[in-house]
Amino acid sequence: MKLEKLIISILMFCLTGIPAIFKLNHAFPPEWFLTKFKGSPIDWVPSGIVIAYVIIVALEAIIALLFMISILKMEFKDGSTPSFGKWAFQGSLILFVILFFGNFSIQNYEGGFQDFMYFIGVYLLMERYLKN
């Protein structure tokens, strides 16, 4: 079980950390993001699109950091309390709900479905990870 938890933690770290690093090293927010959500309910809020992008990037970075702390604290070991891992998984679920509703707000149902599938996958990994 130790190796499985470690692999899940590394996978989740990469799933959130790599996009966060990429987003932080490029235009903030990128033009495609501004264009994609122009005229959507997110755009109705002053600077809503920029705020949404900041929230997404911040969540990705925080989640990756929580998974890294979880790995460094060796929460993957049998008998350890996976508090940072649990917070990271809960943050991941929140992130995919945000992404899901963002896609649905612009009627991108295919993208929303993909986010829903990520949510289900993360939920199943979380259940497996938290199972002692």
Number of domain units in the chain: 1
- Closest by CA position to 64, among listed 14, 28, 22: 14
What's the pTM? Answer: 0.90
| Token reading at 29 | 């927010």
Q: Dihedral angle at the C-alpha atoms of 55, 60, 62, 68, nearest 10 degrees?
A: 180
76-96 average pLDDT score: 93
Cα(22)–Cα(105) distance, integer angstroms? 24
* E strand segments, the chain: none
Domain that holds residue 115: 2-130
85-96 average pLDDT score: 97
**How much is the CA Rg of the chain, to the nearest whole Å?**
16
- 1 has a pLDDT exceeding 80: no
- Percent of the chain's residues with pLDDT above 70: 98
2-20 average pLDDT score: 93
pLDDT in tens, 37-62: 999 999 999 999 999 999 999 999 99
